[in-house]
Structure 1
Amino acid sequence: MSHPANRAARRAAARHHNGDRKVEPTYRGFAEKKWSLVYLRHNKLHRARQIGKIWPYREWEKLMADAVPVKVLFVCSHNKWRSPTGEAVFANVAGVSARSGGTARDARHQITVADIRWADIIFVMEDKHEQRLRADFRQEVAYKKLHVVLDIPDDYQFMDDKLVTLLREKCEPLIFAAA
């Protein structure tokens, strides 16, 4: 049944219904919906992109590979155990670029202005590291995301299992929230 072309035809069709409005309405210019096409993979992906969801996970990996990585800087005192572990843990994660450094003068890699300017997020292991960074690099750190939520004491060796799980638990939510 086609849609009535003008007002008179619509009124005549309405009189023909005898007040019974349970008749299927007609829509001009719309074809019957093909429900089998709704469930195709590319249609689901298109709809997910429209509403801002990432579907499926492989698509997320592709997006993260193409995206600019989040640059993360891990800071501890001597850059021997804690911050190199953080760098190693997040070095192979898609969408993350990691570096590490130390605040002490005899650190393996002492923090520089270039490191701070490079980083999007800075994770420090203890409060004293934050204070040291704010004292030495006041202007560079002023507008950076500096997180002291780690609060990890100097009791762990390089790549200690407990240290790795602590770093993952505390850093992943903050890193992927920034991405």
Structure 2
Amino acid sequence: MTARRPLRVLFVCTQNKLRSPTAETIFREHAGWEVASAGTDRTADTPLTRDLLEWADVAVCMQKQHRDWIRSKLKGALPDDRILILGIPDDYDYMDAELVELLNRTVPGRLEHTSPRPLDPPLHSR
């Protein structure tokens, strides 16, 4: 029996400076998760790309506008049912105590029934 791979969680905000990097930092050591973060703005510290979305099992967006951006610019890179919206406005600094508490309270529960996406079979077995 093969071990199950970690759930790949991509946190998304606008600039990838405050909210999504905070989420990446606090969940970096979460058992069973592999995490990354990116931003929808082209000047983001880590701009969101199709490759990042295709790597992810789930995208956790801070606001609806981030999901809408994904649907518009990177359509099909990740199924809609694997794009979650937290509804966290851009009102927090990096590692703000209130933001950390809010993320810890909401994210694990939203992801507890999410499993890794099946990987495509190797080309030679198709």
- Check whether TM > 0.5: yes
Q: Give the one of 136, 139, 146 matched to 2:73.
A: 136
Q: Give the one of 35, 39, 49 matched to 1:98.
A: 35
Match of 1:62 in 2: none
Q: Give the one of 96, 102, 118 matched to 2:55.
A: 118
Aligned to 1:177, the other structure's residue is in SS state coil
Per-residue CA distance 1:3-27 (angstroms, 9 max, x = gap): xxxxxxxxxxxxxxxxxxxxxxxxx
Deviation of the 1:87 alpha carbon: 0.5
Mapped to 1, the partners of 2:68 and 2:59 lie a distance apart of 13
Deviation of the 1:170 alpha carbon: 1.3
Amino acid in the other structure paired with 1:164: V
Amino acid in the other structure paired with 2:20: S
Q: Give the one of 69, 75, 93 matched to 2:6.
A: 69
Structure number with greater Rg is 1
1:120–1:144 CA contact under 8 A, matched in 2: no
Runs ≥4 residues deviating over 3 A:
none
**5+ long unaligned stretches in structure 1:** 1-65
Per-residue CA distance 1:10-67 (angstroms, 9 max, x = gap): xxxxxxxxxxxxxxxxxxxxxxxxxxxxxxxxxxxxxxxxxxxxxxxxxxxxxxxx53
Deviation of the 1:142 alpha carbon: 3.3
Match of 2:98 in 1: 162
Give the fraction of aligned pairs with identical amino acids, expressed as a percent: 35
Mapped to 2, the partners of 1:127 and 1:174 lie a distance apart of 16
Deviation of the 1:173 alpha carbon: 1.0
Mapped to 2, the partners of 1:178 and 1:128 lie a distance apart of 22
1:73–1:122 CA contact under 8 A, matched in 2: yes
Deviation of the 1:144 alpha carbon: 5.3
**5+ long unaligned stretches in structure 2:** 116-126
Aligned positions, number: 113
Match of 2:118 in 1: none
Range with greater deviation from structure 2 (132-141 or 74-83):
132-141
Q: What is the TM-score with the length of structure 1 in the denominator?
A: 0.60
Match of 2:82 in 1: 145
Mapped to 2, the partners of 1:114 and 1:136 lie a distance apart of 13
1:122–1:144 CA contact under 8 A, matched in 2: no
Match of 1:177 in 2: 113
Deviation of the 1:177 alpha carbon: 1.7
Identify the structure with the greater helix proportion.
1
